[in-house]
Structures are given as structure tokens and as C-alpha cells.
Amino acid sequence: MTKKKFFIETIISILPPDRDCIPCNFMLRLLRAANTVRVEPVYVSDLEKRVSWQLDQASLEELMIPCFSHASTSTLLDVGLVFRLVRGFLDTEDVSRSGAAVVKVAKLVDCYLAEVAVDSYLALPVFFELASVMPSHARSTDDGLYRAVDTYIKAHPGLSKQDRKKLCGLIDTRKLSQEASHHAALNERMPVRAVLHLLLSEQTKLNKNIIHWSGSLSASRSPEGPTGPHQSARFHSKRETGPQQQQIMEIKRLKEDVLRLQSQCMEMERQIEKMTLEKKRSSSSGFILSWKKLGFSPAFKGKRIGEIDDEESEGGGKTTPFEMKARLVRGKNRRRSLS
């Protein structure tokens, strides 16, 4: 082990200072070996800095470095290492010049999150920190992030409602594709409000598409020359506006589906609130039934708490169990005599 440690430290120390002279995947393998033999932190820090310079060239397979901590609650993969690499990549000066590199790293992070999300020991703050480290403009689509969040919620069924809302807040519903939006709308693990927000976003998209196609249709029907405006409009309506009309009808149909799903979600939310109120009422009624089983309901029937307190005060204080029993016996005898 000592020879391997010395050998790896020697390799790291003789690496050339140029950024692109050594492949990123090779340095990731070297970093994995360095963590295995536990080289000195100064060498690990230097190697992590070199990897972060060209993180956009890394592959997911080489990035999945195991966590060599012996703690019982440690994750399978070294998530903290990946967070440091991404943070170092974002802190470099060349990031502002190359937007394509940022997009590549964002896709790499989303794929890594989807792989590590199945780990039951992955804490929510760690997952949230890595998922939110990339800037908002880095993701052209949030499909990968949605898949990672959905995988984490599925692998951690004990998450509270607030935690699920917090995770869903990472997703920009405007950046979801049609397939991802359809999956999220039917996903039972997603919070109701998140689904409603998604449906409203889809409705906004449909409205914009309808306005766009309506403008295109009106432009195609406008006269294009001095000769025969009516004939030109008739020509467009027969040949060119046919596909556009079909697309507009399809968009309207999708809009109706979105409104129907939105009403269903609102109805589900009302049902949940109704069930919550019924549960509270049943708990309070169960408390009253327990008093009735003890035989105290005749004394309290039709009276408020203040009236009961007044009766007790007039009787000279609180009623003892013996006096209460005597009242009950007298009440039973009185009913028998009346019958």
C-alpha cells in the first residue's frame, strides 16, 4: 500500500501544468486510485483542480467514483467529490466563454443524479445541493432533472410533503418536453400543487401556440399582390391553410385535455381537504362517544361548559364520584316511578 501511495503521488507531482494535455477520464481514474490508497490531501486537491478544468470532457462511467469512507451511513458513490468538481468547474474563468461546456456538464450532473438517487443513504440536503449547483441557463431542458427527482422520491418513500415540494421546486416546468409533462401530470408521487403548476404551464404553452398559428393563418390569408386578392385567398385556404387548420384543431384538443386534467386535480385537492375535515370531526365525535360510554352524557346533554361550571359552583364545588353515582341512581328511580 505504501509503494502504491508513493507511486501515485509521484505521478500527480510530475503532471504537466497545461490544462488539455492529459485526458480528463485518465485523471479521473488516477483520482479513484488516489482515494483508494489515501494519498496526501494536497495531491488529491491538485488532481481535483485539474479534473474540474475539463469536466465537460468527462464520462459518467468514470465520474462514478465509490465513496471510501467507512461510516455506516455513507453513500455508495462519492457525491461530495462530484460537487467539488462541479463547483471548481463553475469557478473557472473559461466558463463564461463556452456555453456549450456548461450545457454538457449540466447533462452530466443530471445523469449522475439519476444514478445516485437510488441510494437510500443519500441525504436530501446533499441531493438538493448538487441538483441546484448548476445555473438556470445551463439546462436547455429539465427532463433529466425531473427523472432524477422522480427517482429520488421513489427511492425515499418516507419524504414529507414539504420535502417533495422542495424537490419539485427545482424543476422548471416550462423546460419539460411533452413526454415528460405527460408523465409528470399522471405521476402519483408528485405533489398536487406541482401538478397544477405543470398543467398551468402547459396551458400557457398551448395558448402561445394558438396565437402563433392564428397569426400565421391570418398572414397566409392576406392579399399578396395587386392581381386577384380573392383568388389568392381562395388558393391559400385550399392548399396551404389545410395543415395549419389541422394543427390548430389539435392544439385546441390538447388545451381541452389540459383543462380537464386541471379540473380533475382541483377536484382531488378538494377531496383531500374534505377527508382531512372528516378525520378531524370523527376524532372529536369519538371523544364525545367515550364520555357517553362512561354515563356522563345525561348530565352534560344540552348544556354548555359554563352552565355545568355554574351548577358545580352552586353545589359547593366539584362533584365527587360518590355524589355523581347517587344522582344517577336517583335519576333511574325517578324514571321508573314515572313509568
Which residues are within 8 A (CB) of 199 and not within 5 positions of it... i.e. 6 or more apart?
185, 258, 261, 262, 265
Q: What is the pLDDT of residues 136-172, one digit of tens each?
A: 889 999 999 999 999 999 999 999 989 998 998 898 8
Question: How much is the pLDDT for 193?
Answer: 62
Instruction: Tell me the pLDDT tens digit for each residue of 96-142.
Output: 556 889 999 999 999 999 999 999 999 999 999 999 999 988 999 99
Profile the chain (339 residues) by mean pLDDT over runs of 10 residues: 86 86 92 91 92 93 87 82 94 68 94 95 95 91 93 93 90 84 80 63 60 56 48 44 67 74 76 80 64 50 45 50 56 48
The predicted pLDDT at position 46 comes to 92
pLDDT at residue number 277:
82
The whole-number pLDDT of residue 115 equals 96
pLDDT at 236: 46
Q: What is the pLDDT of residue 50?
A: 92
Give residue 290's pLDDT.
57
pTM, whole model, 2 decimals? 0.62
**pLDDT score, position 143:** 92
- Residue-level pLDDT at 79: 95
Contact 151, 187 (CB under 8 A): no
What pLDDT sits at residue 322? 55
- What one-character-per-residue DSSP string does 284-339 give? HHHHHHHHHHTT-HHHHTT--HHHHHHHHHHTTSSPPHHHHHHHHHHHHHHHHHH-
